[in-house]
Structure 1
Amino acid sequence: MHPPMDNLADLRILISNDDGINAPGIKVLEKVARAISKDVWVVAPETEQSAAGHSLTIRRPLRVRQVSRRRYAVDGTPTDAVLLGINHVLKGRRPDLVLSGINRGGNLGEDVTYSGTVAAAMEATILGVPAIAFSQYYGPDQPVRWATAEHWAPEIIRRVTRVGWGRNVLINVNFPDVPHGQVTGIEVTRQGKRKIGDELSERLDPRGDPYIWIGAQRAEDRSTPGTDIEAVTRGAVSVTPLCVDLTDRDTMRALATVFA
Protein backbone atom coordinates (compact mmCIF):
# COMPACT_ATOMS: atom_id res chain seq x y z
CA MET A 1 0.00 0.00 0.00
CA HIS A 2 1.04 3.58 -0.63
CA PRO A 3 1.00 5.26 2.79
CA PRO A 4 -1.34 8.16 3.52
CA MET A 5 0.04 11.60 2.71
CA ASP A 6 -0.62 13.85 5.66
CA ASN A 7 1.37 16.97 4.75
CA LEU A 8 0.59 17.83 1.13
CA ALA A 9 2.64 21.02 1.28
CA ASP A 10 5.82 18.92 1.37
CA LEU A 11 4.94 16.75 -1.62
CA ARG A 12 6.87 16.78 -4.86
CA ILE A 13 4.14 16.66 -7.51
CA LEU A 14 4.64 15.74 -11.16
CA ILE A 15 1.93 16.76 -13.64
CA SER A 16 1.36 15.31 -17.11
CA ASN A 17 -1.52 14.85 -19.55
CA ASP A 18 -2.44 13.71 -23.05
CA ASP A 19 -3.81 17.00 -24.43
CA GLY A 20 -0.35 18.55 -24.62
CA ILE A 21 1.81 21.00 -22.69
CA ASN A 22 -0.26 24.02 -23.80
CA ALA A 23 -3.73 22.56 -23.16
CA PRO A 24 -6.10 24.55 -20.92
CA GLY A 25 -6.73 21.54 -18.69
CA ILE A 26 -3.11 21.14 -17.64
CA LYS A 27 -2.98 24.84 -16.74
CA VAL A 28 -5.98 24.31 -14.45
CA LEU A 29 -4.31 21.30 -12.85
CA GLU A 30 -1.07 23.26 -12.37
CA LYS A 31 -3.02 25.97 -10.57
CA VAL A 32 -4.66 23.37 -8.34
CA ALA A 33 -1.35 21.64 -7.57
CA ARG A 34 0.52 24.89 -6.83
CA ALA A 35 -2.15 25.82 -4.29
CA ILE A 36 -1.34 22.54 -2.51
CA SER A 37 2.45 22.32 -2.86
CA LYS A 38 5.34 24.60 -3.81
CA ASP A 39 7.28 21.72 -5.41
CA VAL A 40 5.32 21.19 -8.64
CA TRP A 41 6.83 20.00 -11.93
CA VAL A 42 5.27 19.54 -15.36
CA VAL A 43 6.48 17.03 -17.97
CA ALA A 44 3.89 16.65 -20.72
CA PRO A 45 3.65 15.75 -24.41
CA GLU A 46 4.66 18.46 -26.87
CA THR A 47 1.40 17.95 -28.83
CA GLU A 48 -2.00 16.36 -28.27
CA GLN A 49 -1.87 12.59 -27.76
CA SER A 50 -5.53 11.78 -27.11
CA ALA A 51 -6.39 8.07 -27.36
CA ALA A 52 -2.69 7.19 -27.42
CA GLY A 53 -3.32 4.62 -24.70
CA HIS A 54 -0.34 3.22 -22.83
CA SER A 55 1.98 3.42 -25.83
CA LEU A 56 5.74 3.77 -25.43
CA THR A 57 8.08 5.19 -28.10
CA ILE A 58 10.93 2.75 -28.76
CA ARG A 59 11.67 3.14 -32.51
CA ARG A 60 13.09 6.66 -32.39
CA PRO A 61 14.86 8.93 -29.89
CA LEU A 62 12.88 11.28 -27.69
CA ARG A 63 13.61 14.96 -27.13
CA VAL A 64 12.93 16.87 -23.93
CA ARG A 65 12.49 20.63 -24.23
CA GLN A 66 12.49 22.93 -21.20
CA VAL A 67 9.58 25.33 -21.67
CA SER A 68 10.08 27.34 -18.49
CA ARG A 69 11.06 26.80 -14.87
CA ARG A 70 10.00 23.27 -13.84
CA ARG A 71 8.04 22.80 -17.09
CA TYR A 72 9.19 20.39 -19.82
CA ALA A 73 7.73 19.15 -23.10
CA VAL A 74 8.45 15.69 -24.56
CA ASP A 75 7.93 14.90 -28.26
CA GLY A 76 6.25 11.60 -27.43
CA THR A 77 3.30 9.98 -25.71
CA PRO A 78 1.92 10.53 -22.19
CA THR A 79 3.68 7.32 -21.15
CA ASP A 80 6.97 8.69 -22.52
CA ALA A 81 6.44 11.96 -20.66
CA VAL A 82 5.86 10.33 -17.28
CA LEU A 83 8.68 7.83 -17.76
CA LEU A 84 11.14 10.61 -18.58
CA GLY A 85 9.69 12.87 -15.92
CA ILE A 86 10.30 10.33 -13.15
CA ASN A 87 13.50 8.68 -14.39
CA HIS A 88 15.23 11.62 -16.09
CA VAL A 89 13.96 15.10 -15.20
CA LEU A 90 13.38 14.21 -11.52
CA LYS A 91 15.89 11.39 -11.20
CA GLY A 92 17.62 13.16 -8.30
CA ARG A 93 14.43 12.97 -6.23
CA ARG A 94 11.39 11.15 -7.53
CA PRO A 95 7.92 12.70 -7.21
CA ASP A 96 5.67 11.73 -4.32
CA LEU A 97 2.52 12.03 -6.42
CA VAL A 98 1.65 12.17 -10.13
CA LEU A 99 -1.43 14.06 -11.34
CA SER A 100 -2.62 13.58 -14.93
CA GLY A 101 -5.01 15.86 -16.80
CA ILE A 102 -7.23 17.64 -16.59
CA ASN A 103 -8.50 15.94 -19.75
CA ARG A 104 -10.87 17.74 -22.10
CA GLY A 105 -13.68 15.19 -22.04
CA GLY A 106 -14.60 12.29 -19.80
CA ASN A 107 -12.62 9.08 -19.44
CA LEU A 108 -15.39 6.69 -18.49
CA GLY A 109 -16.05 2.99 -18.97
CA GLU A 110 -13.85 1.41 -21.63
CA ASP A 111 -12.38 4.87 -22.41
CA VAL A 112 -9.75 4.09 -19.79
CA THR A 113 -8.10 1.52 -22.07
CA TYR A 114 -7.62 4.10 -24.85
CA SER A 115 -7.00 7.15 -22.69
CA GLY A 116 -3.59 8.79 -22.64
CA THR A 117 -4.65 10.61 -19.48
CA VAL A 118 -5.21 7.34 -17.66
CA ALA A 119 -2.07 5.87 -19.28
CA ALA A 120 0.07 8.63 -17.77
CA ALA A 121 -1.25 7.73 -14.33
CA MET A 122 -0.78 4.04 -15.13
CA GLU A 123 2.88 4.56 -16.03
CA ALA A 124 3.48 6.35 -12.74
CA THR A 125 1.78 3.50 -10.90
CA ILE A 126 3.97 0.91 -12.62
CA LEU A 127 7.01 2.97 -11.62
CA GLY A 128 5.88 2.90 -8.00
CA VAL A 129 4.50 6.44 -7.70
CA PRO A 130 0.86 6.98 -6.62
CA ALA A 131 -1.17 8.69 -9.33
CA ILE A 132 -4.54 10.31 -9.98
CA ALA A 133 -6.07 10.94 -13.42
CA PHE A 134 -8.56 13.81 -13.86
CA SER A 135 -11.07 14.37 -16.67
CA GLN A 136 -13.77 16.99 -17.21
CA TYR A 137 -16.84 15.58 -18.94
CA TYR A 138 -18.74 17.87 -21.33
CA GLY A 139 -21.62 17.53 -23.76
CA PRO A 140 -21.68 17.97 -27.55
CA ASP A 141 -21.23 21.58 -28.70
CA GLN A 142 -20.88 22.74 -25.10
CA PRO A 143 -18.04 24.72 -23.48
CA VAL A 144 -15.85 22.77 -21.09
CA ARG A 145 -16.63 23.62 -17.46
CA TRP A 146 -13.05 23.95 -16.25
CA ALA A 147 -14.29 25.84 -13.19
CA THR A 148 -16.02 22.68 -11.96
CA ALA A 149 -12.81 20.67 -12.13
CA GLU A 150 -10.81 23.48 -10.55
CA HIS A 151 -13.26 23.79 -7.67
CA TRP A 152 -13.50 20.07 -6.82
CA ALA A 153 -10.00 18.76 -7.65
CA PRO A 154 -8.29 20.04 -4.46
CA GLU A 155 -10.86 18.30 -2.26
CA ILE A 156 -10.47 15.07 -4.21
CA ILE A 157 -6.68 15.17 -3.84
CA ARG A 158 -6.87 15.86 -0.10
CA ARG A 159 -9.38 13.09 0.59
CA VAL A 160 -7.76 10.43 -1.59
CA THR A 161 -4.22 11.00 -0.34
CA ARG A 162 -5.47 10.90 3.24
CA VAL A 163 -6.17 7.16 3.01
CA GLY A 164 -3.56 5.92 0.53
CA TRP A 165 -4.16 3.04 -1.89
CA GLY A 166 -2.67 -0.14 -3.32
CA ARG A 167 0.59 -0.03 -5.26
CA ASN A 168 -1.09 -1.61 -8.32
CA VAL A 169 -3.94 0.91 -8.26
CA LEU A 170 -4.46 4.32 -9.84
CA ILE A 171 -7.36 6.67 -9.15
CA ASN A 172 -9.52 7.81 -12.07
CA VAL A 173 -11.60 10.95 -11.42
CA ASN A 174 -14.30 12.39 -13.70
CA PHE A 175 -16.05 15.72 -13.11
CA PRO A 176 -19.65 16.17 -14.36
CA ASP A 177 -20.83 18.69 -16.94
CA VAL A 178 -22.58 20.98 -14.43
CA PRO A 179 -21.59 24.22 -12.67
CA HIS A 180 -19.49 23.48 -9.59
CA GLY A 181 -22.28 24.58 -7.25
CA GLN A 182 -24.66 22.03 -8.76
CA VAL A 183 -22.43 18.98 -8.26
CA THR A 184 -24.45 16.45 -6.26
CA GLY A 185 -21.46 15.00 -4.40
CA ILE A 186 -18.42 12.77 -4.68
CA GLU A 187 -19.09 9.07 -5.28
CA VAL A 188 -16.77 6.06 -5.32
CA THR A 189 -17.72 4.10 -8.44
CA ARG A 190 -16.77 1.15 -10.60
CA GLN A 191 -15.93 1.23 -14.30
CA GLY A 192 -19.04 1.33 -16.47
CA LYS A 193 -19.64 0.27 -20.07
CA ARG A 194 -19.06 2.81 -22.81
CA LYS A 195 -17.67 1.69 -26.16
CA ILE A 196 -16.47 4.06 -28.87
CA GLY A 197 -16.55 3.14 -32.55
CA ASP A 198 -20.19 2.28 -33.25
CA GLU A 199 -20.38 5.12 -35.77
CA LEU A 200 -18.10 4.68 -38.79
CA SER A 201 -18.15 7.30 -41.56
CA GLU A 202 -17.21 5.93 -44.98
CA ARG A 203 -16.23 8.64 -47.49
CA LEU A 204 -14.07 9.37 -50.52
CA ASP A 205 -10.99 11.56 -50.44
CA PRO A 206 -10.34 14.20 -53.15
CA ARG A 207 -8.64 11.56 -55.31
CA GLY A 208 -11.67 9.30 -55.14
CA ASP A 209 -10.09 6.74 -52.80
CA PRO A 210 -12.29 5.43 -49.96
CA TYR A 211 -11.46 5.96 -46.30
CA ILE A 212 -13.15 5.29 -42.96
CA TRP A 213 -13.30 7.73 -40.07
CA ILE A 214 -14.08 6.39 -36.58
CA GLY A 215 -16.79 8.60 -35.09
CA ALA A 216 -17.59 9.60 -31.54
CA GLN A 217 -20.88 7.73 -31.18
CA ARG A 218 -20.82 5.48 -28.13
CA ALA A 219 -23.08 2.73 -26.89
CA GLU A 220 -23.12 3.47 -23.16
CA ASP A 221 -25.02 2.32 -20.11
CA ARG A 222 -26.15 5.35 -18.12
CA SER A 223 -28.67 3.52 -15.95
CA THR A 224 -26.65 1.02 -13.89
CA PRO A 225 -26.16 2.43 -10.37
CA GLY A 226 -22.66 2.50 -8.98
CA THR A 227 -20.84 3.08 -12.28
CA ASP A 228 -18.71 6.06 -13.25
CA ILE A 229 -20.98 6.85 -16.22
CA GLU A 230 -24.18 6.82 -14.19
CA ALA A 231 -22.70 9.02 -11.46
CA VAL A 232 -21.23 11.65 -13.82
CA THR A 233 -24.35 11.93 -15.97
CA ARG A 234 -26.35 12.41 -12.76
CA GLY A 235 -24.13 15.33 -11.75
CA ALA A 236 -21.70 13.69 -9.31
CA VAL A 237 -17.91 13.50 -9.31
CA SER A 238 -16.87 9.88 -9.85
CA VAL A 239 -13.78 8.42 -8.16
CA THR A 240 -12.83 5.02 -9.57
CA PRO A 241 -9.88 2.91 -8.41
CA LEU A 242 -8.37 1.05 -11.39
CA CYS A 243 -6.01 -1.90 -10.99
CA VAL A 244 -2.97 -2.25 -13.24
CA ASP A 245 -2.97 -6.02 -12.62
CA LEU A 246 -5.45 -7.29 -15.25
CA THR A 247 -5.40 -10.90 -14.03
CA ASP A 248 -8.88 -12.36 -13.42
CA ARG A 249 -8.50 -14.53 -10.32
CA ASP A 250 -11.77 -16.49 -10.78
CA THR A 251 -10.84 -17.59 -14.31
CA MET A 252 -7.30 -18.32 -13.16
CA ARG A 253 -8.65 -20.74 -10.53
CA ALA A 254 -10.99 -22.36 -13.07
CA LEU A 255 -8.15 -22.84 -15.58
CA ALA A 256 -5.96 -24.33 -12.85
CA THR A 257 -8.39 -27.25 -12.55
CA VAL A 258 -8.18 -27.89 -16.28
CA PHE A 259 -4.41 -27.79 -16.49
CA ALA A 260 -3.66 -29.46 -13.15
Structure 2
Amino acid sequence: MEVVANKALLCHAIDTSKFSKLAEIKRIITEFASSIDIINMNNIPIDQTIKLLKNENNIQKKVVNFIKQADVYLDDFKYAEADMDIKLRKNGKAIADEHALALPEQLLDQLKLISVYKGHPVPSMIFDSTGTKKIAALASYIIEALEEGRTLIVDELDSSLHFSLTRAIVALFNNELNDMAQLMFTVHDVTLLDCKKLFRKEQIWFVHKDEEQVYLYSLADFTTANTGIRDSTNLLDKYKKGVLGALPDPSFFDSLLEIKSKY
Protein backbone atom coordinates (compact mmCIF):
# COMPACT_ATOMS: atom_id res chain seq x y z
CA MET A 1 0.00 0.00 0.00
CA GLU A 2 1.47 3.35 -1.03
CA VAL A 3 1.58 5.89 1.79
CA VAL A 4 2.86 8.83 -0.28
CA ALA A 5 2.21 9.55 -3.97
CA ASN A 6 5.29 9.05 -6.15
CA LYS A 7 5.09 12.69 -7.29
CA ALA A 8 4.84 14.21 -3.80
CA LEU A 9 7.77 15.30 -1.64
CA LEU A 10 7.86 13.32 1.60
CA CYS A 11 8.57 16.39 3.74
CA HIS A 12 5.52 18.10 2.23
CA ALA A 13 3.16 15.15 2.66
CA ILE A 14 3.84 14.22 6.28
CA ASP A 15 3.13 16.09 9.52
CA THR A 16 6.33 17.96 10.34
CA SER A 17 5.10 19.69 13.51
CA LYS A 18 7.30 17.49 15.73
CA PHE A 19 10.39 17.70 13.52
CA SER A 20 11.81 21.23 13.50
CA LYS A 21 14.47 20.61 10.86
CA LEU A 22 12.02 18.90 8.53
CA ALA A 23 9.49 21.68 9.13
CA GLU A 24 12.08 24.28 8.11
CA ILE A 25 12.88 22.34 4.92
CA LYS A 26 9.16 22.13 4.16
CA ARG A 27 8.75 25.88 4.69
CA ILE A 28 11.64 26.73 2.35
CA ILE A 29 10.44 24.36 -0.39
CA THR A 30 6.84 25.59 -0.10
CA GLU A 31 7.84 29.26 -0.27
CA PHE A 32 10.06 28.61 -3.26
CA ALA A 33 7.35 26.65 -5.10
CA SER A 34 4.76 29.35 -4.43
CA SER A 35 7.03 31.96 -6.03
CA ILE A 36 7.06 30.17 -9.40
CA ASP A 37 4.63 30.82 -12.27
CA ILE A 38 4.63 28.43 -15.23
CA ILE A 39 3.13 29.75 -18.47
CA ASN A 40 2.44 28.14 -21.84
CA MET A 41 2.32 30.88 -24.48
CA ASN A 42 -0.28 28.93 -26.43
CA ASN A 43 -2.68 28.94 -23.48
CA ILE A 44 -2.11 31.89 -21.15
CA PRO A 45 -4.90 32.57 -18.62
CA ILE A 46 -6.07 36.18 -18.94
CA ASP A 47 -7.63 36.07 -15.45
CA GLN A 48 -4.57 37.50 -13.69
CA THR A 49 -4.43 40.56 -15.96
CA ILE A 50 -8.19 41.13 -15.56
CA LYS A 51 -7.81 40.90 -11.78
CA LEU A 52 -5.11 43.58 -11.78
CA LEU A 53 -7.00 45.82 -14.21
CA LYS A 54 -10.04 45.88 -11.91
CA ASN A 55 -8.05 47.71 -9.24
CA GLU A 56 -6.68 51.19 -9.93
CA ASN A 57 -3.24 51.11 -8.31
CA ASN A 58 0.44 51.31 -9.17
CA ILE A 59 0.64 47.70 -10.41
CA GLN A 60 -2.40 48.20 -12.66
CA LYS A 61 -0.81 51.24 -14.28
CA LYS A 62 2.42 49.34 -14.91
CA VAL A 63 0.53 46.46 -16.53
CA VAL A 64 -1.37 48.86 -18.81
CA ASN A 65 1.83 50.69 -19.78
CA PHE A 66 3.53 47.39 -20.58
CA ILE A 67 0.66 46.35 -22.88
CA LYS A 68 0.59 49.77 -24.58
CA GLN A 69 4.32 49.57 -25.34
CA ALA A 70 3.74 46.40 -27.38
CA ASP A 71 1.62 48.14 -30.06
CA VAL A 72 2.45 51.53 -31.52
CA TYR A 73 -1.24 52.24 -32.28
CA LEU A 74 -2.58 51.23 -28.86
CA ASP A 75 -3.55 54.28 -26.78
CA ASP A 76 -5.02 52.45 -23.80
CA PHE A 77 -6.05 49.03 -22.49
CA LYS A 78 -8.64 48.79 -19.76
CA TYR A 79 -11.36 46.80 -18.06
CA ALA A 80 -14.78 48.38 -18.63
CA GLU A 81 -16.90 49.42 -15.66
CA ALA A 82 -19.04 46.69 -14.13
CA ASP A 83 -22.27 48.57 -14.94
CA MET A 84 -21.54 49.09 -18.63
CA ASP A 85 -24.30 48.12 -21.04
CA ILE A 86 -23.44 44.93 -22.91
CA LYS A 87 -25.16 44.48 -26.26
CA LEU A 88 -24.91 41.11 -27.90
CA ARG A 89 -26.69 39.85 -30.98
CA LYS A 90 -27.95 36.41 -31.92
CA ASN A 91 -29.37 35.67 -35.37
CA GLY A 92 -29.45 39.40 -36.03
CA LYS A 93 -31.56 40.18 -32.95
CA ALA A 94 -30.37 41.98 -29.84
CA ILE A 95 -30.15 39.89 -26.68
CA ALA A 96 -31.59 41.47 -23.55
CA ASP A 97 -28.96 42.82 -21.14
CA GLU A 98 -30.03 40.46 -18.37
CA HIS A 99 -29.46 37.49 -20.68
CA ALA A 100 -26.09 38.83 -21.74
CA LEU A 101 -25.10 39.14 -18.11
CA ALA A 102 -25.98 35.48 -17.64
CA LEU A 103 -22.90 34.54 -19.65
CA PRO A 104 -20.11 32.70 -17.78
CA GLU A 105 -18.21 35.18 -15.64
CA GLN A 106 -14.86 34.46 -17.30
CA LEU A 107 -16.25 35.14 -20.79
CA LEU A 108 -18.07 38.24 -19.55
CA ASP A 109 -14.84 39.58 -18.07
CA GLN A 110 -13.02 39.05 -21.37
CA LEU A 111 -15.76 40.91 -23.25
CA LYS A 112 -15.18 43.87 -20.93
CA LEU A 113 -11.54 44.19 -21.92
CA ILE A 114 -11.28 47.29 -24.10
CA SER A 115 -8.44 48.30 -26.40
CA VAL A 116 -8.28 51.94 -27.50
CA TYR A 117 -6.70 52.43 -30.93
CA LYS A 118 -6.14 56.06 -31.94
CA GLY A 119 -8.98 57.17 -29.68
CA HIS A 120 -11.43 54.44 -30.75
CA PRO A 121 -12.40 51.89 -28.05
CA VAL A 122 -13.01 48.35 -29.33
CA PRO A 123 -13.51 44.95 -27.63
CA SER A 124 -10.07 43.39 -27.23
CA MET A 125 -11.45 39.88 -27.61
CA ILE A 126 -12.71 40.64 -31.12
CA PHE A 127 -10.28 43.17 -32.58
CA ASP A 128 -6.85 42.48 -31.03
CA SER A 129 -4.29 40.35 -32.83
CA THR A 130 -3.12 37.06 -31.34
CA GLY A 131 0.17 38.68 -30.37
CA THR A 132 -1.52 41.58 -28.56
CA LYS A 133 -3.80 39.18 -26.70
CA LYS A 134 -0.80 37.14 -25.57
CA ILE A 135 1.04 40.26 -24.42
CA ALA A 136 -2.04 41.36 -22.47
CA ALA A 137 -2.27 37.99 -20.73
CA LEU A 138 1.47 37.77 -20.10
CA ALA A 139 1.81 41.34 -18.82
CA SER A 140 0.50 40.66 -15.32
CA TYR A 141 2.89 37.74 -14.80
CA ILE A 142 5.89 39.78 -16.00
CA ILE A 143 5.12 42.85 -13.89
CA GLU A 144 4.37 40.82 -10.76
CA ALA A 145 7.55 38.77 -11.24
CA LEU A 146 9.64 41.94 -11.44
CA GLU A 147 7.81 43.62 -8.55
CA GLU A 148 7.79 40.63 -6.18
CA GLY A 149 10.95 38.80 -7.21
CA ARG A 150 9.11 35.79 -8.60
CA THR A 151 10.38 33.13 -11.01
CA LEU A 152 8.57 33.04 -14.35
CA ILE A 153 8.88 29.95 -16.56
CA VAL A 154 7.51 30.40 -20.09
CA ASP A 155 7.22 27.76 -22.79
CA GLU A 156 7.71 29.13 -26.34
CA LEU A 157 8.10 32.77 -25.32
CA ASP A 158 8.44 33.82 -28.96
CA SER A 159 5.08 32.32 -30.01
CA SER A 160 3.16 34.93 -32.08
CA LEU A 161 5.48 37.73 -30.91
CA HIS A 162 7.76 39.90 -33.01
CA PHE A 163 11.41 39.10 -32.26
CA SER A 164 11.97 42.63 -30.93
CA LEU A 165 9.21 42.12 -28.33
CA THR A 166 10.70 38.82 -27.22
CA ARG A 167 14.12 40.42 -26.90
CA ALA A 168 12.69 43.37 -24.95
CA ILE A 169 10.97 41.02 -22.48
CA VAL A 170 14.21 39.11 -21.93
CA ALA A 171 16.09 42.38 -21.42
CA LEU A 172 13.70 43.34 -18.60
CA PHE A 173 14.92 40.41 -16.56
CA ASN A 174 18.51 40.12 -17.74
CA ASN A 175 19.91 43.47 -16.68
CA GLU A 176 21.52 44.98 -13.60
CA LEU A 177 18.34 46.82 -12.53
CA ASN A 178 16.66 43.48 -11.82
CA ASP A 179 18.23 41.73 -8.84
CA MET A 180 15.36 39.46 -7.72
CA ALA A 181 13.12 38.15 -10.52
CA GLN A 182 14.09 35.26 -12.81
CA LEU A 183 12.92 34.31 -16.28
CA MET A 184 13.37 30.81 -17.72
CA PHE A 185 12.01 30.21 -21.20
CA THR A 186 12.15 28.11 -24.34
CA VAL A 187 12.25 29.66 -27.83
CA HIS A 188 12.83 28.79 -31.46
CA ASP A 189 14.00 32.33 -32.26
CA VAL A 190 17.71 31.89 -32.99
CA THR A 191 18.25 35.67 -33.15
CA LEU A 192 18.37 35.53 -29.34
CA LEU A 193 21.71 33.71 -29.56
CA ASP A 194 23.61 36.75 -28.36
CA CYS A 195 26.52 36.74 -25.91
CA LYS A 196 27.60 40.27 -26.83
CA LYS A 197 24.72 42.15 -25.18
CA LEU A 198 21.98 39.82 -23.96
CA PHE A 199 23.32 36.65 -22.31
CA ARG A 200 26.29 35.00 -20.70
CA LYS A 201 27.37 31.61 -22.06
CA GLU A 202 26.02 29.66 -19.09
CA GLN A 203 22.56 31.19 -19.59
CA ILE A 204 22.05 29.64 -23.04
CA TRP A 205 21.07 25.97 -23.24
CA PHE A 206 20.34 23.74 -26.22
CA VAL A 207 18.12 20.70 -26.71
CA HIS A 208 19.44 18.19 -29.23
CA LYS A 209 17.47 15.14 -30.32
CA ASP A 210 18.56 12.02 -32.13
CA GLU A 211 16.95 8.61 -32.65
CA GLU A 212 18.12 7.38 -29.25
CA GLN A 213 17.56 10.21 -26.78
CA VAL A 214 17.36 13.92 -25.99
CA TYR A 215 20.43 15.90 -24.88
CA LEU A 216 20.42 19.10 -22.83
CA TYR A 217 23.65 21.09 -22.69
CA SER A 218 24.93 24.61 -22.10
CA LEU A 219 26.79 26.94 -24.43
CA ALA A 220 29.38 27.15 -21.65
CA ASP A 221 30.29 23.51 -22.42
CA PHE A 222 31.91 24.64 -25.67
CA THR A 223 35.53 25.48 -25.00
CA THR A 224 37.29 28.25 -26.89
CA ALA A 225 40.13 25.94 -27.92
CA ASN A 226 37.89 23.38 -29.65
CA THR A 227 35.11 25.52 -31.13
CA GLY A 228 36.31 29.11 -31.04
CA ILE A 229 33.25 30.20 -29.03
CA ARG A 230 33.95 33.54 -27.35
CA ASP A 231 31.75 36.33 -26.03
CA SER A 232 32.37 38.19 -29.29
CA THR A 233 31.56 35.17 -31.50
CA ASN A 234 28.71 35.35 -34.01
CA LEU A 235 26.67 32.54 -32.43
CA LEU A 236 23.96 32.60 -35.08
CA ASP A 237 26.55 31.86 -37.76
CA LYS A 238 28.05 29.04 -35.68
CA TYR A 239 24.61 27.58 -35.05
CA LYS A 240 23.66 27.62 -38.73
CA LYS A 241 26.88 25.76 -39.54
CA GLY A 242 25.98 23.03 -37.03
CA VAL A 243 28.85 23.76 -34.64
CA LEU A 244 26.48 24.03 -31.65
CA GLY A 245 24.26 21.07 -32.54
CA ALA A 246 20.51 21.17 -31.86
CA LEU A 247 19.97 21.86 -35.56
CA PRO A 248 17.04 20.02 -37.19
CA ASP A 249 17.62 18.59 -40.63
CA PRO A 250 14.14 17.97 -42.04
CA SER A 251 13.65 16.40 -45.44
CA PHE A 252 10.19 16.61 -46.94
CA PHE A 253 11.21 15.59 -50.44
CA ASP A 254 9.90 12.04 -49.96
CA SER A 255 6.50 13.50 -49.10
CA LEU A 256 6.50 15.44 -52.37
CA LEU A 257 7.42 12.30 -54.30
CA GLU A 258 4.57 10.40 -52.64
CA ILE A 259 2.13 13.15 -53.62
CA LYS A 260 3.36 13.32 -57.20
CA SER A 261 3.26 9.52 -57.56
CA LYS A 262 -0.53 9.61 -57.15
CA TYR A 263 -0.93 11.52 -60.43
**TM-score, length basis structure 2:** 0.32
Higher share in helix: 2
Structure number with the bigger relative contact order (C-alpha 8 A, sep ≥ 6) is 1
**TM-score, length basis structure 1:** 0.32
